[in-house]
Amino acid sequence: MRLIADVKNANAVLQWDQETYLPTKGAAFRGQQISTLSEISHRMFSEDELGNLLQDLISKENLSPGQKRNVEKTYEDYLKNKKYTSAFVRKLSEQVNKAFHSWMESRKQNSFSVYEKDLDSLIQLKRQEADILGYEGHPYNALLDEFEKGATVHLLDKTFANLLPPLKNLLDKILNQPPVDSSFLKQQFPKQKQWEWGMELISRLNFDFAAGRQDLSEHPFSVSFNRNDVRITTRIDENEFGNMTWSCIHETGHALYEQGLIEEEYGLPLGEACSYSIHESQSRLWENNVGRSKKFWQSFYPLLQTYFPGQFQNITIDQFYSGINHVQPSLVRTEADELTYHFHVYIRYELEKKLLDGTIGSHDIPRFWNEHYKKFLNVEVPNDKKGCLQDVHWSHGSFGYFPTYSLGSFYAAQFYQTAQNEINNLEIDIESGNTVNLLNWVRQNIHLKGRFYTSEELCKQVTGSGLEVNYFLNYLLDKYVSIYNL
């Protein structure tokens, strides 16, 4: 399993490089190299000999609970992997590469049509993949399960049905109040200065630079090659302060999880993150529950003012806090506030369901997108770049990924409430800029558990109950009642 992990992680290095430093003409061969490594790791992970070894191990009596879980989860992954042919793995990887590059090109040209055909071929392959994996009910269930074990259209429909009406209700109330001022976030913030600020920020959040690095890329992301080499990226908009800052905190949240996994379990389930939604809970917890709280900025705002004295000298911490929590329906998911964010996810979720069951096709995406943004957020999409071309995910073949973003926020709220109950003086810590106790708490309760539990099991283990959307709704309500005087 460690050899397989080596190949997969080597492939992750190639992908990291592709999105940070790859020269333009290198794209085609790089795609081919990535496909070859994907094919090799797939072949290694579906060899009969490995299957036999795993079956032998499963029947062993004297395994520790951790060993038992490692064997069971690995066998589960093995059986799933075995369903794919090498040819399909290669085909999918090659199509992802094609789609990724035409997505990049379509963004340059600001036109979805450049991307439509390659995306369509990819969607066909994802439908085939759903058939290969098998599913009950909706074909999308097969893909959801890839990102979130046990997630189904049925469960997610129910979750969103519980969430959206109160969220809409809260949004309407907020929009009826006088808007808070966030215009000071849209001044000129020089690139180099932002970079230095971001580096100090993530360092203070205990990102370990001896075991990772930050670089620039078109689309911020985090990737891990092992717990001692975790890479994050960000992007800098000189005319907007928030963009880079909270992407730094977000990706640091992911990175702290990876840097907190168990070294000795490299390549084994206990050395891996629990799930996509739990991963996202860690980025959201730091980005929002911590990073958009007033307590956090008590110590960080004075520091920030030393980086941008001109821009922030006349802005009080209260104004700053309100501004960074400003609610406003908008076009771009990654720049959305914590409330409207989930409408962005919901629209993508609805779209993916329909793409997967064939109700709509690739060419319908811009129309569907724009109509739903109008309907749910009452915004007009001016062009594809600010519309359906904004996310990289589909070009990576990641259908079923978006819902984990919402689940991540919900888990984050539930975890953070628990942390607040369990850690003495957490609020005082945070006010003084000390997040080590919180980090140790998530390390102990979440990171070090690896993939021992499912998301739901872990949530019960940590918080005493399964996922409940109310934690998140209460968290939002608390925040906005005070900011908007509701």
Catalytic residues: 251
Which residue in 13, 57, 164, 360 binds a second copy (CB under 8 A)? 13
Q: Applying CB under 8 A, does 342 fall inside the site for a second copy?
A: no
138-153 residues labelled b (16+ CB within 10 A) or e (exposed)? bbbbbbbbbbbbebbb
Which residue in 189, 241, 266, 399 binds a second copy (CB under 8 A)? 266
Per rule CB under 8 A, count of chain residues that contact a second copy: 37
Q: Applying CB under 8 A, does 260 fall inside the site for a second copy?
A: no
Q: Applying CB under 8 A, does 76 fall inside the site for a second copy?
A: no
Nearest to 206 by CA among 459, 410, 442: 442
Given a contact cutoff of 8 angstroms between Cβ atoms, the answer to whether 214 and 234 are in contact is yes
Beta carbons within 8 Å of 409's beta carbon, 6+ residues apart: 280, 281, 284, 288, 338, 341, 342, 472
Q: Applying CB under 8 A, does 36 fall inside the site for a second copy?
A: yes
Q: Applying CB under 8 A, does 89 fall inside the site for a second copy?
A: no
Q: Applying CB under 8 A, does 26 fall inside the site for a second copy?
A: yes
Q: Which is nearer to a second copy, 40 or 317 (CB)?
A: 40
Which residue in 1, 19, 37, 171 binds a second copy (CB under 8 A)? 37
Q: Applying CB under 8 A, does 309 fall inside the site for a second copy?
A: no
Which residue in 210, 309, 314, 485 binds a second copy (CB under 8 A)? 210
Sign of CA dihedral 300, 301, 306, 307: positive
Which residue in 19, 28, 379, 462 binds a second copy (CB under 8 A)? 28
List the 222-226 sheet strands across, edge first: 212-216, 229-234, 222-226
**Rounded to 5 degrees, what are φ and ψ at 232?**
-125, 160
Q: Least Å distance between CB 27 and a second copy?
A: 8
222-226 and 212-216 beta bridge pairing: unpaired
Q: Applying CB under 8 A, does 24 fall inside the site for a second copy?
A: yes
Q: Which is nearer to a second copy, 22 or 133 (CB)?
A: 22
> Using CA atoms, how far apart are residues 130 and 88, in angstroms rounded to an integer?
12
Which residue in 229, 251, 287, 384 binds a second copy (CB under 8 A)? 229
Which residue in 110, 228, 434, 440 binds a second copy (CB under 8 A)? 228
167-174 long-range contacts (CB < 8 A, ≥24 apart) are 167/339, 167/342, 167/343, 167/473, 167/476, 170/339, 170/473, 170/476, 170/477, 170/480, 171/327, 171/329, 171/339, 171/340, 173/484, 173/486, 174/327, 174/339, 174/480, 174/484, 174/486
Q: Which is nearer to a second copy, 61 or 263 (CB)?
A: 263
Q: Least Å distance between CB 39 and a second copy?
A: 8
Q: Which is nearer to a second copy, 14 or 303 (CB)?
A: 14
Q: Applying CB under 8 A, does 72 fall inside the site for a second copy?
A: no
Give the distance, in angstroms, between the CA of residue 343 and the centroid of all CA atoms in the same chain.
Answer: 16
Interacting residues with a second copy (CB under 8 A): 2-3, 6-7, 9-11, 13-14, 17, 21-26, 28-30, 32-33, 35-37, 40, 208-213, 215, 225-226, 228-229, 266
